[in-house]
Every structure is written in structure tokens, then in C-alpha cells.
Amino acid sequence: MSTERPFWERKALAEMTREEWESLCDGCGRCCLVTLEDEDEPDVLDETSMHCRLFDPEKRACTCYERRSEIVPECVPLRPDNIAALTFMPPTCAYRRLSEGKGLADWHPLVSGSAKTVEEFGIAVSRDLVNERGVKEEDYWRYVNGRRRR
């Protein structure tokens, strides 16, 4: 039995292979939710029950992952050199947690050994989300779900 620590504990984000980097995503879908800035508290984001037009809530995955930021310009690809500045990412995000010096959460599939724990622990987004494509921007506030990010 190997006693070597897992790659996310041994390597800096910038040292990871593409495969290792991609495996950090737990598939929760929280980064694909439409969020709104609070006018009174600019450092606070309100999550909505709407998802990005490219997100598939059943699979909790982007339908056009490789071209996502080309199709949706506001989609910011996560990279080791920008993740620390992307404070809009959910605090549960593995990339954010690791960039902040925290480890992976117990429910993360790389720790738990099961992709199901993301849903079991209530981290995964609902499959009953509304596609932003069908909502007028002035009506987005109607979909604020009460969850806030700092």
C-alpha cells in the first residue's frame, strides 16, 4: 500500500497535469449558476435558480466545454494563474479551496471515492434549474434563491 500523499496535497496548482487539474472539478455545477451582484453589498453575490445556457443540469456539465468562453464571453476559464483572483467562485470549489490553502472537502469525489457524495452532501445544484436563455435579464431577480456567496 502506497503512503504517498495524493497529488493535490503534493503539487501546487500550476504543477498539475491537465488530467489532474480537470479531476479537481467535483461536478457540482455551482460555477454555472447565474449570480447577481448585490447593489448594497458589492462583494456579495446572490445565486439564482438559473443556469448558464450551455449547462446541462441533468448531467451537471457544460454542453460545449472546450468552446465555452468563446460562446459565452462572461464564462471565465479556470487556470492556476487566475483562480486566486476569481472570488466569485463558490467557497466549496476545489480550485478555490486549494488556492486558499485549504484541502479538499470530505465529500469531494477524490476524497470520498464516489461522485454521489457531492449530491448527498447538498453541494450539487438542483436538476430543476431554469435555463437563462428563457428569462429576460430584467427578470433575473425573480430567480434569486437565497444562497449568497462572499
Reported confidence tier of residue 1, pLDDT bands at 50, 70, 90: low
The owner of cell 504543477 is 15
DSSP 5: P
Q: What is the pLDDT of residue 147?
A: 81
**Count of CB atoms within 10 A of residue 93's CB?**
23
The neighbouring-strand residues paired with 14 are none
88 confidence band (pLDDT: 50, 70, 90): confident
Note the pLDDT tens digit of each residue in 96-134: 999 999 999 999 999 999 999 999 999 999 999 999 999
* pTM for this prediction: 0.88
| Distance of alpha carbon 147 from alpha carbon 94, whole angstroms | 19
